[in-house]
Amino acid sequence: MEREAVLEKLQPLMRTQVRDVTHDASTRIAMDGKKVTFRPGRGAHTLDVTAPGVISMCNFVGLSEKVAGKLTPHTLAIATNELLQKKGNYALMVRDGSVTSVTRPGEYRNCNPSRVLDAIEKSIPNAEYHRVLIKDNVVRLEIAGEKREPVVKGDLVQAGSLVQFSPIGTVNPMVESYVLRLVCTNGLVAPHVLHTYEYGGGGNGGGGGEGDNIWQWFRESIKDAYRSINPIVERYRQMIREAVRAEDRAAMLESMLRQAKISGEAAHAVRAMAMENPPQNTYELLNLITYASSHLIKDADRVARAQEAAAEYVAESAHTRVCPLCHSQRTVQ
């Protein structure tokens, strides 16, 4: 996937911006029937406020929906304006010129997607965007580079990074190691999160301001993730030596499906693949799950959960905890 195609997919998210407001005497809220408008200050453009935005604004100033419903529009506008003035500073979530939410200042901050892609392309030679997943203003980018290593002859994996961020900072940015198995282009998130960026604000969100070091953090973290392929490949080779007994296969597969929360048609497809080509070792068992997360599941949350479960299964430190059977019960070739 080319950069332009990625930005096109992200375009709807880029229509939402966070605007910090300092309430002053010229700030105005008007309610005319069902229409609500907000002018942040003298000379600023008047913004429409959506129905969810009105609810958010009332909740922010401490007006319950029950109390707000008993007030006339004019009285509610005056009360909301006075209560916002007492707050002093706050932030508006603005989408397509309308206020959709009101939050604490610094809780969310814009994180320019174009600059995130710049950081990726500076850190990974010939970066290829393998997949873009979007849900609830959160973006997950799976990126592969040119570096390749064989697990065994004929089974190449390609180094990359997984980058998660929100253009409006609803989550902290995160970077993980990522590899793409070229036999059937199924991807796997490697066992550990390399870094999580904390921007120093008081809220839940991630940074993105021009004055902080987030862009350097992105570049260094993505580069570290991309370079981590060698120990990952060594772990895969070790898993090939971890045999799965025929009597254990069904129980192990079902436990992994539950751990990854793979159900319905996707689970049936994985079981059918296991019946056709029974997994002989834990690496083959792992690739059944990663195939599901890459080919069978489309929902971003479910993909993330399946990838995380597979990553835990790979990690030696966590393997004995998440393995369906005691490690000692499996023979080693």
**Pairing mode of beta strands 47-49, 98-103:** parallel
Q: What pLDDT is stored for residue 171 in this prediction?
A: 85
| Lowest mean per-residue pLDDT among 13-27, 171-185, 268-282 | 171-185
The answer to whether residue 205 scores a pLDDT higher than 70 is no
CB 77 within 8 A of CB 26: no
For residues 69 and 49, what is the distance between their CA atoms, to the nearest angstrom? Answer: 17
Which of 55-64, 175-184, 193-202 comes out lowest in average pLDDT?
A: 193-202
Please give the share of the chain, as a percent, with pLDDT higher than 70.
87
The alpha-helical segments, DSSP class H, found in 164-281 are 214-227, 229-240, 249-260, 264-276
In this prediction, residue 169 has a pLDDT band, given cuts at 50, 70 and 90, of: confident
Mean pLDDT of 40-55: 90
Counting residues of the chain whose pLDDT is more than 90, the rounded percentage is: 51
In this predicted structure, the answer to whether residue 326 has a pLDDT above a threshold of 70 is: no
- Identify whether the C-beta of residue 297 lies closer than 8 Å to the C-beta of residue 321: no
Higher pLDDT, 287 or 331: 287
Domain extents in the chain: 14-103, 113-229, 241-329
Distance, CA of 239 to CA of 253 (rounded, Å): 15
pLDDT of residue 318: 53
110-118 average pLDDT score: 92
Question: pLDDT tens across 64-107, in order?
Answer: 888 988 899 999 999 999 999 999 999 999 998 899 999 998 88
Q: How confident is the model at residue 201 (pLDDT cuts 50, 70, 90)?
A: very low
Phi, psi of 110, deg, nearest 5: -65, 140
Give residue 211's pLDDT: 44
Quick check: 184 pLDDT over 80? Answer: no
117, 7 in Cβ contact below 8 A? yes
> What does the alpha-carbon distance between residue 253 and residue 259 come to, in Å, rounded to a whole number?
10
pLDDT category at 189 given cuts 50, 70, 90 is: low
